[in-house]
Structure 1
Amino acid sequence: MSKGLPKSVDHNSSSVLLESNGHGIRDMDLELMSEADRVLASNFGYRPVFKREFGYLATFSFAVSIGGVYSSIATTFIYPLEAGGSASIVWCWLISGAGCMCLALSVSELVSAYPTCGGMYYTVSRLAPKRYVPFVSWITGWLNILGQLAGVAASEWGAAALFLAAVSIGSDFSYLPTVNHTVGVMAVMVVISGLVNSLSTFWIEKMTRCYVIFHIAILVSCAIALLAMAQPKNGTPKHTAKYVFTDVNNQSGWTPASWSFMFGFLSVSWTMSGYDATAHISEEMKNPEIKAPWAISLGMLFTYLAGWLYNIVLCFVMGAVTGEKSILTSPIQQPVAQIYYNVLGKAGGIFFTVCSLIILKFGNFTAMQSLTRTIYALSRDGLLPFSGIWTRIMPLTGIPILAVWMSVLVAMGINLIGLGSYPAIAGVFNVCAIALDYSFCIPILCKIIYGRFVPGPWHLGKYSMFINVYACLWTFFVSIIFIMPTIRPVTPVNMNYAVVYLVAILIFSMIYWLIHGKKYYKGPPLENRSQSVASHDLQKR
């Protein structure tokens, strides 16, 4: 907490320090602040309230945890497996990952220029013409926050499923998970994430710093163990390289096979998502204009390359895809956990499944941290209902405690849909990546169209335009696949309801805009100084 600042703030007092955006004037002694806080106050118009604890290792670890490649593959492997078999798993990751990297690099460039915990929501206010700022920021903010809410709910559901898969393996499959059991365990998982996020930034940073080391160690050791133990004498011979890279096995029911093959893009797009999550903790790190984009770009590059190599390992050792004992007919409905059990035995299967759970839970901790900072950022500008509540900082820990527990309750509420219909809850999970990616593309498109962008110290130089355009084109293409049912014939059981939720998000945000936003919401604060001066100040640091 900066010296002289109150420990508890509300919407009006946390928004603007300078004469901007109609909120009035708050006189502060900028000399008492750190340089990063001074830039936040004078250039971006926000009162600093968070302690800047995150260093390079913790920030990089945070970015890697959002992808959580080891556990994310475990929870999404089934989609490319059904869509096109081994070839779809390998090549779709490579192709789709390139598009995701372009989006990650584009977001990194924007975060370097505008490092606030509002992320792309704040960024778009600097890139769109002034008369469009309130509406464009409103849409971007709602897409981003609802995408994050769906993402946290989906990850907690996945954590519950992995926990129950480990229990099932431990019981020699005499116990099989049910949806009701998954919902119950999920509730406990969400509460654990809420408790962790109730800690101060100091302790969260210490936990986050250790994550990436553990993640890499488990990823490498698991790959080595699988390759070493998959032997004919163990009943799990390895596939040939020709099979791994060329075998197409369409189990989806879609024709032609080339169309079904593209459903393999879903796994990497779900894993490499949440690019701006690191931006949402930028007010908790020193030199955020350098650390945040550095962590996003390198974190996603690690996820891209490590995920591709790990998928290849799984394809070598996964055994039969079709038939009575195939991993697709696994009684625990977790193909990767079944691979661990088949190749490594009961003890190894339990160990690496539990490790996957631990890694996913670490990712859930950071995802909820990103979500709560987003709630805080949107509330201090008055975008959310009851905004004055969600910006209140707990004096003991220095974090927006009510935003944390609001996230917990909403994530639980979303997952309770699973009690009535699993396809319905799966649609909520699918909309996560679509809503988030669209919230990234809106500011990127504004950058391309309006030419108001002044780069920060981390930028793409002469390649910027090409990377930005490709990122948007790829996102629009892959979003079509996101809303399609992955299995045919389409029934109420396997229907993809993502498009229903996406439309519902847009309708809700538009109705709330007409009722409240159009009259009261003015968008993020715009500083009195020119944009070029703000960017110049950042580049001098």
Structure 2
Amino acid sequence: MKPVESGHHDDEAQLQALGHKSELQRNFSLLSMLGLAFAILNSWTALSSSLGLALPSGGSTSVLWGLLTAGVCNLALAASLAEFLSAYPTAGGQYHWVAVITPKRWVPLASWITGWINVSGWIALTTSGGLLASQLISGLIALYHPEFALKAWQVWLIYVAWTLIAFVINAFLNDLLPYVNRAAFIWSIGGFAIVCIVVLSCASPNYASADFVFTEFINETGWPDGIAWLLGLLQGGFGLTGYDAVAHMIEEIPNASVEGPKIMIYCVCIGTITGFIFLMVLLFVSGGNAEAIISAGPGPLIQILYTATSSRAGATCLLMFPLICILFAETAIMTTSSRMTYAFARDGGVPFSKFFAKVHPRLGQPLNSLMLSAGLTILFGLILIGSSSAFNALISASVVALGVSYAIPVAINVCRGRKMLGPRPFVLPGPLGWAANLLGIAYTIVTTVLFLFPPELPVSSSNMNYCVVAFGIILFISTFQWFVDGRKNFTGPRSDTGLEVLEGMKSQEQDDAESRHLKVAGEELGLHMVK
């Protein structure tokens, strides 16, 4: 028990050194936190449920090779962020890291911008669970009743119900969240295996050709082929985004600076591998007709499951695995979103910061921040009623915002020669570190521009990518808040004195190690003399 207690005290001291008091319980083990991170990515579920993003924008080449492209680039970004997480394990994540490595004159503004982008990205990502669930449930209804079409407000009500379920789980079952996340990890991996085995066995031997699976190119967007394929990267980017969840939950993990970086990298690797395998299986059992899949009333995933099993009941049963995975994901994303908002409010970064930085004494979590996250998620969902491309807009907003928040600290560190991070357990070797940083930054720049494009041409008011509008609103609110309050009162996270304390802690650890070594050596010498 002593080593565990010692590690716990080290975590508390390290957090205090970064300027914060530990208020959250460290009850997430390595497996439960890996479960949370993987539940948020839930790559095979997110990728299969969003096939409609990539199939019209490049066909199967965009679905598979676009995922691998996004996987390599996101792994580079995750490894880059893992260095920051190892050095400064605080729930503030990116905006805290930016404050540590930015010249003092620009700390408040740089930290403010990063924090707002990250908070906005997580709230946008919180919409994804309700979006995917409402699409799948609508598709299931269309499978049994092709003549019946849900109205937009009915789809929104499904979206709201899904969001409220996730809120209730987060609000009142906080102590059970580690077990929920372990269950999510087991359910997701188990569901992945079961669905793959069942559809392959049911479809045998009528598989699509390898040419269709690996080389089929389709462009139904109206954009030039190259642009269309790059727009299809949105599916892969969406399926792999959200790995900074580990950072925002890091204050609830024992031995944070060692375990956190491992989890961040593991979840991207697992997500890319399982996603690639699952998408490849789906394409093989799809029947080989991409146009029919894209235009199917129930949606691409349900249509492929129905084609593979030749049974509506079979397709429905298999759909339960991704549908429940989406509920797990929505719960985990809302957990992380509330923790990010809480961390930023703790440093005075949002309006009414004192209110949103409160931790509920009985529930042991930032309930006010949780309510804010759920409330804004429901409001953002209203876009479903007015736009046919609402799904693309909200997914684009989350992927772009989170990607930019990942790239900002990495870019600043690169501009300052990769010399701004202190001693840490996880270090990328020199050339590998530079390569990972530069690849991640380049990927973010390209996707940030492209994912703001409308998904198809010609552009109309109904298919416009309202991601641009969402960013405009966020920019206006954050700018207004900066001039009203932030410019005067926001100084960034409390990190200056913390860095000195952290250095002292590391020196003390080295001194303790040396003294233990001398003590052991002395005891051995004494025993030798007695003999």
Q: 2:284 aligns with which of 316, 327, 332?
A: 316
Distance 1:538 1:306 in 2: 43
Q: Counterpart in 2 of 1:7?
A: none
How far the C-alpha of 1:243 sits from its partner, in A, is 2.3
Distance 1:134 1:422 in 2: 39
Q: Counterpart in 1 of 2:468?
A: 499
Q: Is the alpha carbon distance of 1:38 and 1:82 closer, same or farther for their aligned partners in structure 2, counting shifts above 3 Å? A: same
How far the C-alpha of 1:525 sits from its partner, in A, is 0.4
Q: Counterpart in 1 of 2:191?
A: 218
How far the C-alpha of 1:425 sits from its partner, in A, is 6.1
Q: 1:241 aligns with which of 205, 210, 226?
A: 210
Q: Deviations over 1:83-130 (max 9, x none)?
A: 121222121111221111111111112111111111111111111111
Q: Counterpart in 1 of 2:371?
A: 405
Q: Counterpart in 2 of 1:101?
A: 75
User: Given that residues 90 and 247 in structure 2 are in contact (C-alpha distance below 8 angstroms), is that contact kept between their aligned partners in structure 1?
Assistant: yes
How far the C-alpha of 1:379 sits from its partner, in A, is 0.8
Alignment of 1:226-265 (within 5 A): 226-231=199-204, 237-255=206-224, 257-265=225-233
How far the C-alpha of 1:75 sits from its partner, in A, is 2.6
Q: Is the alpha carbon distance of 1:103 and 1:306 closer, same or farther for their aligned partners in structure 2, counting shifts above 3 Å? A: same
Aligned residue for 2:359, secondary structure, equals coil
Aligned residue for 1:528, secondary structure, equals helix
Q: Counterpart in 1 of 2:385?
A: 419
In the superposition, the TM-score normalised over structure 1's length comes to 0.88
Q: Give the counterpart letter for 2:361 in structure 1.
A: P
Q: 1:51 aligns with which of 25, 28, 49?
A: 25
- Is 2:54 the counterpart of 1:80? yes
Q: 1:114 aligns with which of 83, 88, 91?
A: 88
Q: Is the alpha carbon distance of 1:37 and 1:240 closer, same or farther for their aligned partners in structure 2, counting shifts above 3 Å? A: same
Q: Is the alpha carbon distance of 1:412 and 1:329 closer, same or farther for their aligned partners in structure 2, counting shifts above 3 Å? A: same
Q: Counterpart in 2 of 1:485?
A: 454
Q: 1:139 aligns with which of 106, 110, 113?
A: 113
Aligned residue for 1:83, secondary structure, equals coil
How far the C-alpha of 1:200 sits from its partner, in A, is 5.3
Q: Is the alpha carbon distance of 1:460 and 1:201 closer, same or farther for their aligned partners in structure 2, counting shifts above 3 Å? A: farther
Alignment of 1:329-368 (within 5 A): 329-332=295-298, 334-344=299-309, 345-368=311-334
- Is 2:3 the counterpart of 1:38? no
How far the C-alpha of 1:389 sits from its partner, in A, is 0.9
- Is 2:422 the counterpart of 1:454? yes
Q: Deviations over 1:39-67 (max 9, x none)?
A: 111x2110110110001100111111111
Distance 2:192 2:142 in 1: 23
For structure 1, the 5+ residue unaligned runs are 1-29
Distance 1:484 1:31 in 2: 52
User: Given that residues 53 and 392 in structure 2 are in contact (C-alpha distance below 8 angstroms), is that contact kept between their aligned partners in structure 1?
Assistant: no
Distance 2:439 2:35 in 1: 27
Q: Give the counterpart letter for 1:503 in structure 2.
A: G
User: Given that residues 18 and 498 in structure 2 are in contact (C-alpha distance below 8 angstroms), is that contact kept between their aligned partners in structure 1?
Assistant: no
How far the C-alpha of 1:527 sits from its partner, in A, is 4.2
Q: 1:150 aligns with which of 124, 127, 138?
A: 124
Q: Is the alpha carbon distance of 1:270 and 1:454 closer, same or farther for their aligned partners in structure 2, counting shifts above 3 Å? A: same
How far the C-alpha of 1:322 sits from its partner, in A, is 5.1
How far the C-alpha of 1:538 sits from its partner, in A, is 10
Q: Give the counterpart letter for 2:264 in structure 1.
A: I
Q: Counterpart in 1 of 2:175?
A: 202
How far the C-alpha of 1:263 sits from its partner, in A, is 2.0
Q: Counterpart in 2 of 1:12?
A: none
In the superposition, the TM-score normalised over structure 2's length comes to 0.90
Distance 1:418 1:89 in 2: 25
Distance 1:500 1:226 in 2: 41
Q: Give the counterpart letter for 2:503 in structure 1.
A: V
- Is 2:508 the counterpart of 1:508? no
Q: Is the alpha carbon distance of 1:204 and 1:340 closer, same or farther for their aligned partners in structure 2, counting shifts above 3 Å? A: same
Q: 1:287 aligns with which of 247, 255, 262?
A: 255
- Is 2:507 the counterpart of 1:533? no
Distance 2:509 2:401 in 1: 32
Most deviating of 529-538 and 507-516: 529-538
Q: Counterpart in 2 of 1:126?
A: 100
Q: Give the counterpart letter for 2:300 in structure 1.
A: P
Q: Is the alpha carbon distance of 1:341 and 1:424 closer, same or farther for their aligned partners in structure 2, counting shifts above 3 Å? A: closer
Q: 2:163 aligns with which of 178, 190, 200?
A: 190
Distance 1:399 1:80 in 2: 38
Percentage identity across aligned positions? 27
Distance 2:74 2:152 in 1: 32
Q: Is the alpha carbon distance of 1:425 and 1:249 closer, same or farther for their aligned partners in structure 2, counting shifts above 3 Å? A: closer
How far the C-alpha of 1:539 sits from its partner, in A, is 8.1
User: Given that residues 130 and 158 in structure 2 are in contact (C-alpha distance below 8 angstroms), is that contact kept between their aligned partners in structure 1?
Assistant: no
Between the two proteins, the alignment pairs up a number of residues equal to: 502
Q: Is the alpha carbon distance of 1:538 and 1:337 closer, same or farther for their aligned partners in structure 2, counting shifts above 3 Å? A: farther
Q: Counterpart in 1 of 2:244?
A: 276
User: Given that residues 394 and 401 in structure 1 are in contact (C-alpha distance below 8 angstroms), is that contact kept between their aligned partners in structure 2?
Assistant: yes
Distance 1:81 1:424 in 2: 18
Q: Is the alpha carbon distance of 1:348 and 1:529 closer, same or farther for their aligned partners in structure 2, counting shifts above 3 Å? A: same
Distance 2:293 2:186 in 1: 30
How far the C-alpha of 1:274 sits from its partner, in A, is 1.4
Q: Is the alpha carbon distance of 1:537 and 1:116 closer, same or farther for their aligned partners in structure 2, counting shifts above 3 Å? A: farther
Distance 2:165 2:290 in 1: 38
Alignment of 1:294-309 (within 5 A): 294-309=262-277
User: Given that residues 162 and 357 in structure 1 are in contact (C-alpha distance below 8 angstroms), is that contact kept between their aligned partners in structure 2?
Assistant: yes
Q: Give the counterpart letter for 1:490 in structure 2.
A: V
Q: Counterpart in 1 of 2:351?
A: 385
Distance 1:244 1:314 in 2: 9
How far the C-alpha of 1:202 sits from its partner, in A, is 2.8
Q: Is the alpha carbon distance of 1:289 and 1:200 closer, same or farther for their aligned partners in structure 2, counting shifts above 3 Å? A: farther
Distance 1:91 1:425 in 2: 22
Structure showing greater radius of gyration is: 2
User: Given that residues 51 and 201 in structure 1 are in contact (C-alpha distance below 8 angstroms), is that contact kept between their aligned partners in structure 2?
Assistant: no
How far the C-alpha of 1:321 sits from its partner, in A, is 3.4
Distance 1:206 1:32 in 2: 22
Q: Counterpart in 1 of 2:488?
A: 519
Q: Is the alpha carbon distance of 1:437 and 1:537 closer, same or farther for their aligned partners in structure 2, counting shifts above 3 Å? A: farther
Q: Is the alpha carbon distance of 1:539 and 1:413 closer, same or farther for their aligned partners in structure 2, counting shifts above 3 Å? A: farther
For structure 2, the 5+ residue unaligned runs are 514-531
Q: Give the counterpart letter for 2:425 in structure 1.
A: P
Q: 1:176 aligns with which of 146, 149, 155?
A: 149
Q: Is the alpha carbon distance of 1:87 and 1:403 closer, same or farther for their aligned partners in structure 2, counting shifts above 3 Å? A: same
Q: Counterpart in 1 of 2:519?
A: none
Distance 2:362 2:248 in 1: 21
